[in-house]
Structure 1
Amino acid sequence: MKNNKKRTGVLAGLLAGALLVTGTLAWQDVSQHKTNKFTTTSVEHNVTLVETFEEVSNWRKGEAKVNEIAVRNGQETDDVTQYIYEDAYVRLQLKEFMEIMNKSYIYSEKRYMVDEKGNFNRFETLELAQEFMVTLGEDAPEDGRIEEVTGFFDKDEEGNAKGFFYIATQQADKNGQYGKFVVMSEVMGEGDVLVEGSVNQNHSSDDQHNSAIVDDETGAIDYNVDEDQYTTHLWGTGGNMSAEGNPFTQYVKWTFGTDVITMADWNGQPTAKWIVDTDSTEGYVYWGEKLTHGTDTTVTPKSLTTNLLEKVTLLEQPYGAAEYYIHVNMDAVNLKDVAKWDDAPEKITKAHNGMDDLSLVLKALTNAINEASGFELEGYTSEIATQLATALANAKVAMDNENETIESLQKASSDLESALKAFKSDNVLVAKSKLAETLNEIGEIDLSDKAPAGAKRYQAYLDTAKALLASEDANITDLSNLSESLFSESSKLVTVVGPKFKDGRIENFAGHNWTVVSYDEENGHAIITTDVLMQAEIASYGVETKEDNKMAFSSEKNPSYALSAAKKVDDAFFKKWVESDATALKAVLPTQFTEETRQEDTWKTRKDQPIQYIESGKKQAFTLGISDINYYEISAEDLVTESDFIMLRSVGKAEGQIGFVTKVGGLATGASDYRSNKNVSMMITALPAK
C-alpha cells in the first residue's frame, strides 16, 4: 500500500470533537479533521463537513451547547466554468469516547483553626492574625503558632497562588475540635474509560492530520486516524437515539435537528432528511436524497443538508476530571459509486438509484405524459381521442399534486397508458395528430410579405390539410405526404422587404422613380431601372457630360465598364441614395457579375454572364448588359422610348464598339462615343403588387 493516492468517485471526511470535563465541563475545539477533494480532467467533487461550535470555558450540568453538524456539496470558489461538479450521496458515522480521571489531594501536616461554620480562620497579614488571637482571651494560643501557608485553593483575585496566615491548633485550643488539614496539592491518577478497552487518541488530531493509506487494489482509503477507534454510536430507541447499553447517555444528551427520522419511519422515497439506520452495525445515518452541487446555498438550497446534530447537554457531572469526544466520519460518493456501499440497506440504494416505488411510478407517468403530449388532440370528435385527452389532463394534475399517493399516481399512469394504446391502434388518428402537430409547429404564417409563387403554393397545401383533418375519409398516405409537403413549402417561403410596386412602377424609392424590368415571383426578386437622369444630377456626381442628358461611355479604344463614366455614375448614385437610406439599403440585394468578352456572331443573343444575386456578393447599382437582357427576358420597350436610348455595359460586336438599346427597341452596337441618359439599375427584393 502507498500513501496519498487519491481514488476517483469516493470522498470521505472526518470531524473530531472533544469536551474537556474538569469538575465543570469545558468545551474544547471541534474541527474538521480531513476532507478529500479530488479532480479528474473534467469532473470535480467538493463535499465538505460543516460544523458550528459554541466555545465555552465552564460547562455546567444542564447547560446545552451548540454542536451543529451538516454537509455541503460545493463552495463559493468552485469554478463551474472550468469543471463539471457532480451531485453527491452522503452518509455519516458518529463515534464517542469519555475518560474520567481519578484525583487525590496532599494535605498539610498540621491542622489549622476554623470558625464555627467550618471556614478557615485565615488572614491577609500577620498583624490581622495577631489581633484575632487577642480576641480569644486569656486562653488564646501563643502567636508563635501563626504560620504563612499557601494552600492549593489559595488564590488572589486574578487566580494566582497566594499565601495566607493560618493559626495552627492543638488539643486544648478553643475551637480546636474544628481544626482542619489544608489541601496543599492535587494528584491526578490514571483515568477510567467509560467503554472498557478504549483509549484516548486526542494526539491523532495533530500527529495524523495529513496521513492516509490507500489500498492499491480496491482504492479503499484509510485515513490512519486513531480517533476512528472510538466507540461507534449504534442507533436505536434509547437516549440520543442510541442502541441499548450506550454508557455515554448517562452524562451527555444529544439534541438532533428537526429533519432526523429512523429507517422504520421512512417511506423509502427520496427526502431531505437524515435517515438513521437502527439496524446497522456500523452506525450509519444517511442523507435521504442526492446533495446537489452549488456555489451559493441561497440559490441552490439543496446543496446543503439540514443539521444532523444541533446541541449537546451535560446531564450529570462526572466525579473527576473528564474528557468527552465526538468523532464524525463522512462518506460521500457519486451515483455510480453508491453500489460500493455494500453494507447499506436496500431501501437506501433503491431510493438513490431511482428504483423506489415512487420514482418508478413517476418515471412511468412522465414517459406516458411525454408520449401523449406528442399527439395533437384538439378539435377531434373521436371518442378515442377524447379519452386520451381526458387521461392526459388527469395525469398532469396528478403529477403536479404533491399530496398524491403512490396508488393514485399508479392509477393515473395506468389510465393514460391504456388510452395511449387505444389511440395508437387507430393509424388514421395518429396520422391526423401528426399533421395537426406539424401545423402547430409551423404556426400561423403571414403570407402578405412573402414571394407570391411560394405563398400561393403554401396556401394551397394549407387548405388541403384543413380539409383532410375535418374529413372522415382521409387516408394515412395523404395525411403523411401532406405533413412533409407543408414543412418543405414553409421552409421555401421568402420574405421580401423592398418597396411595393404597381403596374410595373415604383415611386419615390431611393430618391427616384423606377421601372420594374424583371420580376421573379418565386423569390420576390426584381431588377429595376431609374427614369432618365438629368444632366444636373449627373454633373453633381462629378462625371463629365458632353451634351444634355448624355455622357461618354468611355474614351478608351477598347471600352470597359470598369473604366466608364457610367460606372462612376452608378457608384456615386448608390453611395448617395442607397447607402444613406437604411430602408433602401435593406431592400437592395447583393449581386455579382463579370464583364462580358467580345462575341462577334452571337453578341445579340448571349446570356452567359448576367448579373446574379449571391449572398456573399456586393450591394451595388449597375448598368445593364446584353446577358442581363436576354437571361432575365427584359423587354426593350421597358428600357427605352422612341425619344431616348440606353447604352449597356457590354462591349460591341466589333472592336471599339459598345452595346446599346435603340429608340426603336432593339439591341445594337456602335462606336464607343455614344451617349447614355438612363443607366442606373439595381436588383432588389420587392413586395408583390397590392
Structure 2
Amino acid sequence: MKNNKKRTGVLAGLLAGALLITGTLAWQDVSQHKTNKFTTTSVEHNVTLVETFEEVSNWRKGEGKVNEIAVRNGQETDDVTQYIYEDAYVRLQLKEFMEIMNKSYIYSEKRYMVDEKGNFNRFETLELAQEFMVTLGEDAPEDGRIEEVTGFFDKDEEGNAKGFFYIATQQADKNGQYGKFVVMSEVMGEGDVLVEGSVNQNHSSDDQHNSAIVDEETGAIDYNVDEDQYTTHLWGAGDNMSAEGNPFTQYVKWTFGADVIKMADWNGQPTAKWIVDTDSTEGYVYWGEKLTHGTDTAITPKSLTTNLLEKVTLLEQPYGAAEYYIHVNMDAVNLKDVAKWDDAPEKIKLAYAGKDELSLAQKAMEAALEQLEKYDLESYPTQAGNELNALYQDAKEQLAGGTFTVEEYVALQKQLTEALEKYENDPVSTAKRDLNQELENAKKMDVSDKTTASAKAFNDALAVMQTLNDDINASAEDMKTAQDAMAEAIANLAIRYLPVVNGDRVENYAGHNWTVIYRDEKTGSAMMIVDELTSDDFKAMGIKADAEPNKMKITDTVTEIFPGYEKSKMKLVDDAFTKAFIENLDERAILPVKIPVENTENADWATRKEAPTIINKESGRKQAFSLSISDINTYGIQVSKLVENTSQTGFTRFRSNGIIGTNTETKEKYVRGSSVDMSKIELTGNAGINNPTQTVRPVIWVAGFDN
C-alpha cells in the first residue's frame, strides 16, 4: 500500500478594518508524505499525486485560484525493460483547516496632517515639507512640527521600509487640528480555529518533511505528518459536496472536475470518474477503474486520472488574517490489496474485480458474442444464419455505442441464445456447415501433382460445392450430392510425377531445369534433357574438369577407333549425374531404359535409326543417358531443342560414332542447329569450336507426364 500526501496552504488577511481588504495565497508542498512502496523481485509501482497550483500574492473575496488535483501511475523514467509495473487502484482523502488570526495595530503618539481627501501630507525630503508649509502662508516652523516618521505601511518601490517627513498637527491648523495617527506596527494575537480542538500544523512542512515512524514490532514505516490531524472532509449533499455542518463552506468554494460523481449516481460499472463515497466516515473518493501504468500519458491516457479538484474560490473575507489548508492523502494499491481496504464499499470492490452485477451481465453478453464469433455466418449463408448474423451485428453495434442496464443485457442475451438454438437445429444450416467444412478442406488440397483428367474432375466438383455454398437457397439434398461427388473425385485423383510444365519447360526438377524433347501421349511418358550443366554441377558430381581427350574421339585414321560410349567421359558424366541428382527421386517418376550400341561402321550414320534408347521395365536401369543419332531420328526430336544458343558453346554431344573422312569439314561434326558433333569432350570450361564448354546434357525418361 502506498499513501502519499500533498497540501495546499491558503493565507488570507484583513488589513485596516473593513475598508482595506487584501491577502496572500501561498502553496506549501509536502509531497509524497505517506509512501508504503509495495515491491516484489520484479514488480514495481510508481503512483504519484499530481497537482497544479497558481501561486499568488493576494487572495480576495470572489477570486478563484487554480488548485488541480489528479493522480498518475508511472513516470517517464520508469524502466519497463527491467521491471513489471502493475496497474493501480486509487482513493483520495481530503482534509481541511482554517485559522482566523486576531490582529491589532500600534499607532503613533501624535496626529499628523492630512489633506482634504484624507491622505497624509508626507514628503520625501525636509525641504519639500518646508516648501509645503510656505504654501499654507506659514514660515518653516521653529518648533519642530516637521518630523521624519517610518510608519508600518511606508515602503519604497521595492517594498522595503522607508521613512517620510510628516507634519504634526496643532490647534487651528488650516487642515484641521486633529489630523490622523500613523500605524507604526501590527500585533497578531491568538487565532480562532473554525473546528474546535484543531491545531495549525504548518510547522509540518519543514519539521516533518522527511520524518518517518517505524513500528518496532513489524518494521512497517509510516510517513504520517501532523497535518493528518486536520478535519476530514466528509461528503454529502451540501456545498462543496460536503456533509452537513462543514464550517469551511462559509469561506471557500471548491470547483470539482467534470468527472466527479456521487456513489448513489454510479451504476457500479468501472468508469473513468472520481466516485465520492457519501457514506464514508473517512471521507474517501475513489477512482472508478484501474489506473493503467504508462510512461507517456499521450500514449497511455488511462495512466492519468482527470482532476478531482480544479479551483478554490474565497467566498467571504475573514475579519483578520486567515490560513486555510487542504491536505490530500492518497492510497494506491494493486488489485490483490484492494481487499485490505476494510472500509471500502462492496460496490467499489466488486467493480474493481469485475464482479458487480452490471459487469457480470456485460461479461455474459460478451461471452455470448464471443461464442457466436466462432460461427462463420457469412461464408456459407442460410436463412437461419442470416437472421442470427443480423442480430449478432446489431448487438455488437449497440454494445459499442451505448450504455446498458442489467435488464437490457439479459434481454439481448436471451434473443441471441434463441436465434443460435434455431440456427443449430436448422437442417439446411447443418448441411451447409458440413458442406463448408469439406469445401475448406478440399481447398487446402494440392492437386498440382495429379494428372490432368483427375485434377479436372476434382476442380469441377469443387466448383459445384462453392456454388452451393454461396447459394442461400441451396437444398440439403443438393449439398449431399455435391459432397458425394467430391468424395469420388478425391478417390480418383492420380499422381502426376513431374512438376508443372510450362510448354516444353520443366522447372526445378531434381534441382535443374529441363526441356521436354519427346512425348508419348499414349503412355504418358516423355524424354527430358537437362539444361547445360554448370561448374557447380560438376563439383557436386565429383568430376574434376581437365583436358584429357574423350575416349570417344575418332582419330584421322579410320581404323583407329576407341571403345565408344561405355568407356567415354559422356558415360562418366551421365552416371555421376544419375547418382548425384536422380537416384533419390521418387522411383515411380524415372523409367528404366535400355541403351543399345550403334554400329560404328554405318555409312549412313546421320540418318540411322537402328539402335534407339528404349523403355525397359523388365531389366533396364533407371538412369540418365546421352542421346544417340538413332534417338534423334526414331523419335523425331527437334535439333533446335538441343541447342541452348547459336554460339559455338551451344553444342550437345551424342553418344553415336560416325564415319570419319580426311576432309576437315566432315571430320568433326557438331550440333549447331542441324549437324552432329563427333569431336572430343573436354571439361575445361574454355569455350571454342575445338574446346566446347560443358556440352554433355544428360537425358531421363519419365512417367506420369500427361500435359
* TM-score between both structures, scaled by the size of structure 1: 0.68
Output one character per residue of 1:332-354: Cα deviation in whole Å (capped at 9) or x when no partner: 22223222222222222222222
Q: Does 1:307 align with 2:307?
A: yes
Q: Does 1:361 align with 2:383?
A: no
Name the CA distance, whole Å, in 1 between partners of 2:498 and 2:405.
Answer: 57
Residue 592 of structure 2 aligns with an amino acid whose one-letter code is S
Name the CA distance, whole Å, in 1 between partners of 2:262 and 2:37.
Answer: 30
1:607 maps to which residue?
none
Output one character per residue of 1:491-520: Cα deviation in whole Å (capped at 9) or x when no partner: xx999976546699999x978645799xxx
Name the CA distance, whole Å, in 2 between partners of 1:288 and 1:308.
Answer: 12
Q: Please give the residue correspondences for 1:437-452 in structure 2 after superposition, counting only pairs within 5 Å.
A: 437=437, 439-440=439-440, 444=443, 447=446, 449=448
Q: Does 1:149 align with 2:149?
A: yes
Residue 635 of structure 1, aligned match among 561, 571, 592: 592
Q: CA RMSD in A?
A: 5.4
Name the CA distance, whole Å, in 2 between partners of 1:184 and 1:195.
Answer: 33
Name the CA distance, whole Å, in 1 between partners of 2:586 and 2:300.
Answer: 68
**CA pair 633-46 structure 1, distance change in 2 beyond 3 A:** same
2:10 maps to which residue?
19
2:410 maps to which residue?
410
1:69 maps to which residue?
69
Name the CA distance, whole Å, in 2 between partners of 1:302 and 1:357.
Answer: 24
Q: For 1:360, what is the secondary structure of its paired residue?
A: helix
**CA pair 411-636 structure 1, distance change in 2 beyond 3 A:** same
1:651 maps to which residue?
none
Q: CA deviation at 1:413?
A: 0.4
**CA pair 640-374 structure 1, distance change in 2 beyond 3 A:** farther
**CA pair 550-432 structure 1, distance change in 2 beyond 3 A:** farther
2:547 maps to which residue?
544
Name the CA distance, whole Å, in 1 between partners of 2:464 and 2:211.
Answer: 78
Name the CA distance, whole Å, in 2 between partners of 1:83 and 1:215.
Answer: 29
**CA pair 129-468 structure 1, distance change in 2 beyond 3 A:** closer
Output one character per residue of 1:188-208: Cα deviation in whole Å (capped at 9) or x when no partner: 223222222222222323333
Say which is worse superposed, 136-145 or 68-77, in terms of deviation: 136-145
**CA pair 391-159 structure 1, distance change in 2 beyond 3 A:** closer
Work out which of the two has the higher radius of gyration on C-alpha atoms and give 1 or 2. Answer: 2
Whose strand proportion is higher, 1 or 2?
A: 1
1:556 maps to which residue?
none
Name the CA distance, whole Å, in 1 between partners of 2:171 and 2:505.
Answer: 144
2:207 maps to which residue?
207
1:195 maps to which residue?
195
1:180 maps to which residue?
180
Output one character per residue of 1:574-610: Cα deviation in whole Å (capped at 9) or x when no partner: xxxxxxxxxxxxxxxxxxx9x99xxxxxxxxxxxxx9
**CA pair 99-80 structure 1, distance change in 2 beyond 3 A:** same
2:396 maps to which residue?
396
Q: For 1:57, what is the secondary structure of its paired residue?
A: coil
Residue 18 of structure 1 aligns with an amino acid whose one-letter code is G
Q: For 2:144, what is the secondary structure of its paired residue?
A: helix
Q: For 1:302, what is the secondary structure of its paired residue?
A: helix
Output one character per residue of 1:591-635: Cα deviation in whole Å (capped at 9) or x when no partner: xx9x99xxxxxxxxxxxxx96xxxxxxxxxx4767x989897532
2:317 maps to which residue?
317
**CA pair 623-292 structure 1, distance change in 2 beyond 3 A:** closer
State the number of aligned residues: 584
Task: State the identity %.
Answer: 61
Q: Contact conserved, 2:595 with 2:612, CA < 8 A, in 1?
A: no
Q: Contact conserved, 1:447 with 1:455, CA < 8 A, in 2?
A: no
Q: Please give the residue correspondences for 1:49-64 in structure 2 after superposition, counting only pairs within 5 Å.
A: 49-64=49-64
Q: For 1:79, what is the secondary structure of its paired residue?
A: coil
**CA pair 20-436 structure 1, distance change in 2 beyond 3 A:** same
Q: Contact conserved, 1:252 with 1:315, CA < 8 A, in 2?
A: yes
* TM-score between both structures, scaled by the size of structure 2: 0.67
Q: Contact conserved, 1:515 with 1:528, CA < 8 A, in 2?
A: yes
Q: Please give the residue correspondences for 1:191-340 in structure 2 after superposition, counting only pairs within 5 Å.
A: 191-213=191-213, 222-340=222-340
Q: Contact conserved, 1:204 with 1:225, CA < 8 A, in 2?
A: yes
User: Gaps spanning 5+ residues in structure 2: where?
Assistant: 15-21, 520-525, 539-543, 555-567, 599-609, 615-622, 632-679, 683-693
User: Gaps spanning 5+ residues in structure 1: where?
Assistant: 1-9, 518-525, 552-563, 571-592, 597-609, 612-621, 647-657, 666-673
**CA pair 460-36 structure 1, distance change in 2 beyond 3 A:** farther
Output one character per residue of 1:385-422: Cα deviation in whole Å (capped at 9) or x when no partner: 56544543443343333255543332120111233345
Q: CA deviation at 1:239?
A: 1.9
